[in-house]
Amino acid sequence: MQIVVGVAVVKDRQVLAAYRPGPDGGWEFPGGKVEPGESDEQAAARELREELDLEIEVGASLGPGVDISAAYRLHVYYAKILAGAPVLREHSELRWFGPAELDETAWLPPDRPFVRLLRNRL
C-alpha cells in the first residue's frame, strides 16, 4: 500500500489548508506520496517545499493512518514553518483555519478524522 503524507502546518493556533478543485474537491492537508527510500517525515518536508515553497520541521503524527482507497493510506503529521511563506502552486486556494473554523464536512473524506483530532488539540 502506498503511503501519502498530509501536513498540518500549525502557527498561532491556526492550521494551513489547501483547496483541491474539481467535482470531488475540498480542503485537505497539503502533502503527497512517499517515494521509495523516503521516510514519511522526509516526504512531508519535500512535498511542502515543492508545493508551497515552505521549509518545515515535521513533528508528531496526528494519529493512526486512514485508508484513502485500496491502494493509498493517509498519514498526517504536525509541522511548524522554519522558513518561507506559503506560495499557491498546485491548489486553487490556501487558507489558515482557527479551531472554531474547522468544519470537517468541508474537508476531503480521508482528512476529516484528522481535522476532528486537530480541532480538539489547537
Dump pLDDT digits (tens) for 66-121: 999 999 999 999 999 999 999 999 899 999 999 999 988 899 999 999 999 998 88
Question: What confidence score (pLDDT) does residue 69 get?
Answer: 93
Q: Is the pLDDT of residue 24 over 90?
A: no
Question: What confidence score (pLDDT) does residue 122 get?
Answer: 85
Distance CA(68)–CA(86), nearest Å, equals: 25
Q: Does domain 2-121 have CATH number 3.90.79.10?
A: yes
Q: What is the pTM of this model?
A: 0.93
Question: What confidence score (pLDDT) does residue 120 get?
Answer: 86
**Residue 7 has which C-alpha cell?**
501536513
* Owner of C-alpha cell 490556501: 94
Distance CA(57)–CA(81), nearest Å, equals: 6
Distance CA(74)–CA(121), nearest Å, equals: 19
Dump pLDDT digits (tens) for 43-58: 999 999 999 999 999 9
- The domain spans of the chain are 2-121
Q: From the centroid of its chain, how far is CA 120?
A: 17
